[in-house]
Amino acid sequence: MADEKILTIAGALRAASTNRALIAEARRLYGPADYSEADLRLPLYDGDLEAAEGIPEGVARLAEQIAAADGIVISTPEYNKMIPGVLKNALDWVSRVKGNPWADKPVAILSAAAGRGGGDRSQYSLRLALAPFQVRIVPGPEVLIASSGQAFDGEGRLIDERAVKVVQGLMAAFRREMARN
C-alpha cells in the first residue's frame, strides 16, 4: 500500500554510495509507499554535550522519523569488518532519547560492499547493535552485494538478475512483516 511509511537509512554518507543505490533499488522493487530518508550527519555522541545541550535537533528528528515509520530499511557498507561509525553513532544517540522509537519496528537489512562478502560482517554487527532496541529484523533472504562498485548499471539498477530477485524476496518478506503491525 502507498500509505505505508518507510524510513530508509543509508550507512554511508557519500551521495553516490552503492548503499544509497541499493536503497533506491529496494524502494523501486518494494513499490509505492510514503518514503523518508534519515540524515546521519549528527554530532559524535558525547555525554558532556548531551548534559549541556540535551538531545541535538538532528537526533530528535531521526527519533521522530523512526517512531513515525511503519518499517525501516537499512543499507550498510562494511568499514573495517563492522558497520560504519556514522551508523553506530546514530544508534548510540537514538538510544539516549526517552522511550524507544525502535520498539517492535520491522527492519530490513541490506548491504553493499567492495569486498567479496558483500558486507556480511557489517550485517552481523548491525544485527547485534539493533538487539537492545527490540526490533523485528526480517531474517532474509540476505542481501549481500559484493564488488558493489561494479554491481550497478549507469541508471543505478542492479546488473545481476539473481541480486534483483534476492532484493525482491527481502522486500516481499519486509512487506509481510509490516502487515503484522
Give one DSSP letter per residue of 114-137, joined into a string: SSTTTTHHHHHHHHHHHGGGT-EE
pLDDT tens figures, 93-127: 999 999 999 999 999 999 999 988 899 999 999 99
The residues facing 30 across adjacent strands are none
pLDDT of residue 20: 96
Q: Give pTM, 2 decimals.
A: 0.96
- Return mean pLDDT, the chain: 95
What are the structural domain ranges in the chain?
Answer: 5-179
What CATH architecture applies to the domain 5-179? 3-Layer(aba) Sandwich (3.40)
Query: What is d(CA 88, CA 112) in angstroms, rounded to the nearest whole number?
Result: 17
